[in-house]
Structure 1
Amino acid sequence: MRDLSTGGGTGPLSIEHSGEGGKKEGRQEAILRLVAQNFYVAIEEIASLFGVTTQTARRDIMALEEAGKIRRLHGGAVLTTPLETSVYRQRRVENAAQKERLAQVVGDLVPEGANLFIDSGTTCEAIAHALLRHRHLRLVTYSLRVATILSENSNFTLAVPGGFVRPVHGGIFQEDTADFMKRFKFDFALISVSGIDRDGDICDDDHAEGVIAAAAMAQAERTILAVDSSKFGKRAMVRLGTIADIDILVTDAYPEGEILRLLKDNDVEIIC
């Protein structure tokens, strides 16, 4: 079971407020932070964590949705707003060692001179660092952070779309960014996602990012998905694709249950 830790992971959230209204307000604040940290949280999990009925948990979710802070989805809730800076910074340090190991594996899989698409996010930033040991690559990304890392190697050919830069994660977007990706052909699309749910869907938090990554995957000969094992069984708001769209899964621990079965059924290579 998850613990209700703060953004820094230093201890349990305090939800003690005077009066019933204060308790409800504190519980809803804690639920919102839990969703922000874990991408998706189920009503049954809220009920168990806070010692309330599922009806109370559902009312909390409805109140937060009415406030425009979350969205109800499949018996739980997901974020509706971009990540706060503090949450994104926390993700950069969470599981940092695992992300570094995954990045090194992905770097080994990429041959010299390859044409690559690289997704945004903290795992892909680690992958960008790992690719710097190559001499010649041709790369496309919509992440300003990834592009900044890759630009350290002057022998790389690097393309980014034009548009507005989103705060916090540095994604570059405009209306035709997905069409920009369709102008290229890639040997590999290197992506990371917020979760792989038990239905076999790969999911992310942001619709615009999902559209761009899906467009790039359609232009790629092979797709490499790099995620740490904490993403197994998690569901986010946007369906990017399915396990069938992945050729190689790079992770830190072997998946289990239905996810493993779906990976095997679709002949996805698993590298741990």
Structure 2
Amino acid sequence: MTTIDKKTRRQTALLRQLEQARYLSLEDVARHFDVTTQTARRDVLELEHLGKVRRLHGGVTLAQPIDPTVLRARRVENAEAKTRIGEAVASGIANGSALFIDTGTTCEAVAHALLRHEGLRIVTYSLRVATLLAEGTNFTVAVPGGFVRPVDAGVFRAETPEFISRFKFDHAVISVSGIDSAGDIGDDDHAEVAAVQAAMRQAERIILAVDASKFGRRALVKLAHLSDVDEIIADSPPAAPFDRLLAEAGTVLTVAD
């Protein structure tokens, strides 16, 4: 077998591993395939160039971990509820504010509701959010460079968290895949979690915008705890045990009417 064949088989196997693990460090890759760290890094760089993976914090994750059919369903699922959530978030944001806005369909609804505002300064890694906010407004909109994830137009590269950490925000508007019964909030994408955590560290106020279906759903990667969030804006109040968890965490719950 030629060296090229070995490399191709190794890279194919690496993609299969990432489908299961979602994230691997370079040391994990080198150890699993019995190669040097330098060889592991070259494999990752080649796969990143092909748009199949992206580097993140000394490791690698899939470039497109979200199933496209799932995201298409999210765009129509609870659409009316997400519109109400977006309006409720926007009502608490003053003109001229500095914002971080997460990616996802709920945050796209928030962006749409913000179009009536003036002079907002916004950082986002969602091209959908950025495009919506940049058209017909006087907003300042900043996005990181990197690879665009086709399924939801999220922009990522290894330096995305560092880019976000250069800014200071009045509000960080985030959304998540789930909030479990331990009060942990999380997402299914390691890269998104790293980017959002960078924004949360730079924000005066953190707003979690979620529809009620996210309560009781466990996500793959922990982002934070309910106590790290200042306000949750949802379409309906959650059932037990989340009423108790919110009270213990001191997190304000706003139900979007």
TM-score (norm 2): 0.74
CA contact (8 A) 2:212 2:235 kept: yes
- Give 1:238's match in structure 2, choosing from 214, 217, 221: 221
- Give 1:153's match in structure 2, choosing from 117, 133, 136: 136
**Aligned counterparts of 1:113 and 1:212: Cα–Cα separation in 2:** 23
CA contact (8 A) 2:212 2:236 kept: yes
Identity of aligned residues (%): 55
Change (3 A) 1:136 1:68: closer
User: 1:151 is matched by which residue type in structure 2?
Assistant: A
- Give 2:118's match in structure 1, choosing from 118, 135, 155: 135
Per-residue CA deviation, residues 123-169 of structure 1 (Å, 9 max, x unaligned), is: 00111100001021000001111111111133001111111111101
Residue 87 of structure 2: aligned partner:
104
Residue 183 of structure 1: aligned partner:
166
Residue 146 of structure 2: aligned partner:
163
- Give RMSD over aligned pairs: 1.8
User: 2:150 is matched by which residue type in structure 1?
Assistant: P
**Aligned counterparts of 2:18 and 2:193: Cα–Cα separation in 1:** 21
TM-score (norm 1): 0.70
Residue 67 of structure 1: CA displacement? Answer: 8.6
**Aligned counterparts of 2:18 and 2:156: Cα–Cα separation in 1:** 23
> Where does structure 1 lack aligned partners over 5 or more consecutive residues?
1-65, 73-79
**Aligned counterparts of 2:159 and 2:94: Cα–Cα separation in 1:** 30
> Counterpart of 1:263 in 2: which secondary structure?
helix
Residue 253 of structure 2: aligned partner:
270
CA contact (8 A) 2:146 2:157 kept: yes
Residue 225 of structure 1: aligned partner:
208
**Aligned counterparts of 2:158 and 2:250: Cα–Cα separation in 1:** 35
CA contact (8 A) 2:115 2:137 kept: no
Per-residue CA deviation, residues 236-272 of structure 1 (Å, 9 max, x unaligned), is: 1010101011001000111222222121112111100
For the pair 1:215 / 2:204, whether they are aligned, the reply is no
- Give 2:237's match in structure 1, choosing from 234, 237, 254: 254
> Where does structure 2 lack aligned partners over 5 or more consecutive residues?
1-15, 23-61
List structure 1 segments (4+ residues) > 4 angstroms apart after TM superposition.
Answer: 66-72
**Aligned counterparts of 1:196 and 1:269: Cα–Cα separation in 2:** 15
Residue 70 of structure 1: CA displacement? Answer: 5.0
**Aligned counterparts of 1:234 and 1:151: Cα–Cα separation in 2:** 33
User: 1:127 is matched by which residue type in structure 2?
Assistant: V
Residue 182 of structure 2: aligned partner:
199
User: 1:219 is matched by which residue type in structure 2?
Assistant: Q
